Structure 1
């Protein structure tokens, strides 16, 4: 059983959803970013998505675009992101960690080298937003062969004829993008999310995590009553953007994570 499978199974047994947090590797700099990464589990993160900085983050809103620029300006590379995962694993061998981003940096790094190093340092899954299932042979197939889950994004516009193809080779969990648009967009209604999850469950038995537009503990709790996971990214990244320096960035991100975790953990699912 992979770390992702075990974490979602354990949380299901507890009757609650996972808090899935996103931060960009290297934002606001390597050391502060690593401190944030290492602090997230104790602050209540159940699963961590770590963004791989890329110069053209087309699916991301302003907050994460700016986070990517801060990271790149600070010298973050894909090799350093893998180093960061390795450093994280020196003290945490249980929290699932997923790398999220775009295919171009991986292609330039070399797929075989990337998959080998990702497995060695302890990456549990990949979310590659611009690589559809028609191109599974590029990365999904070798990653899964190495024991790394490949997590698919589904959206409000992914219709029932497309869903089976999208979910066919998915593993780990399904990431439901609850609103059309880029990261940081407005949140969906609970009625919309309820209907979307019911539709997805007709096509998959994988855990379903819902993201985009979730910023407060109250919003996180509302989604936690419906989904298997609650994804929060832009709200955490905004804390870094507004901080006066690295120390405040670390404290503010971990503080918000704790508040979000309280909301998620207080939202028990019906027995």
Structure 2
């Protein structure tokens, strides 16, 4: 996939319309709801520990119970990421990771049978070109984009592009979000709303309090069809607790951690890391999928 010039018109010069392609993410949730189960969404930054092994890791996640994969785009100023994901992202950046390569990761997840999502700070998408990104993402088989630092009020260009290409828009809410903000997010989201379990950066936590459950209920009341909870979920027990009320459970740092050495700064030898990743994904999947 290359970032070549592309307009928002057909060959005859007519404006491109809205895609009527159904949401793969919503289809996934519908299937799980029919079985009264939550979905398991796992996060891993593309390019960590290197581009080739990251593809193996993404495939491993899907093969061992992850239903949808958030493919992270490493960024030099990750305001939402905790130390584990920051370390992994820095390794990826040091290895020359770039946004152009992430579409191979999207194809890898799709070919493995998972739902491919990208999680990215908006600056990366903006500089790539919003329309070009939407086109290349759709062509790679992508489902939706999670934008932690983009709010619907400032997302006009992305809303138009995602509608043209049939891509999901996943915005974040937090326990501090006012009801009016929840309504704006729910009205503009497609696929699901990402409910941050707490304020602050990502990372593993010893316990999950009751605030995410309240936030999920408030977000549904505001009109959201699907609400998933992330930030802090790191054990099968926590996954089961959150999965009892959320449509999906998002796990990031706990999966990334399996590929790091004990110093939390360097990557494990690939075979050992992938083995640990598979085991962690399986245990989390069992807890999440059997939450109800």
TM (normalized to structure 2)? 0.87
Is the counterpart of residue 239 in structure 1 residue 263 in structure 2? no
Structure 1 runs not aligned, ≥5 long: none
Q: Give the equivalent residue in structure 1 for 2:182.
A: 163
Cα distance in structure 2, aligned partners of 1:176 and 1:185: 16
Q: How does 1:121-270 map to 2 (within 5 A)?
A: 121-184=140-203, 186=205, 189-242=208-261, 244-268=268-292
Corresponding residue number in structure 1 for 2:71: 50
Cα distance in 2 between the residues matched to 1:22 and 1:138: 26
Distance 1:187 1:232, change over 3 A: same
Between the aligned partners of 2:89 and 2:29, the Cα distance in structure 1 is 29
Q: Report how far residue 114 of structure 1 moved.
A: 0.9
Local SS of the residue matching 1:164 = helix
Largest Rg, 1 or 2:
2
Cα deviation, 1:84-121, whole Å, max 9, x if unaligned, reads 222443x33x4211100111111221112111100100
Q: How many angstroms apart in 1 are the aligned matches of 2:109 and 2:213?
A: 35
Q: After TM superposition, which residue ranges in structure 1, 4 or more long, deviate above 3 angstroms?
A: 185-190
Deviation at 1:190, TM superposition (A): 4.8
Instruction: Give the Å deviation of 1:144.
Output: 2.6
Contact kept? 1:32, 1:247, Cα under 8 Å: no
- Measured in 1, the distance between the counterparts of 2:108 and 2:240 equals 31
TM-score, reference length from structure 1: 0.93
Q: 1:142 to 1:188 in 2, by over 3 A?
A: farther
Structure 1 residue 188: Cα displacement = 6.4
Cα RMSD between the aligned structures?
A: 1.5
Equivalences, count: 266
Report deviation, 1:59. Answer: 1.0
Distance 1:196 1:36, change over 3 A: same
Q: Distance in 1 between matches of 2:201 and 2:195?
A: 13
Deviation at 1:189, TM superposition (A): 4.0
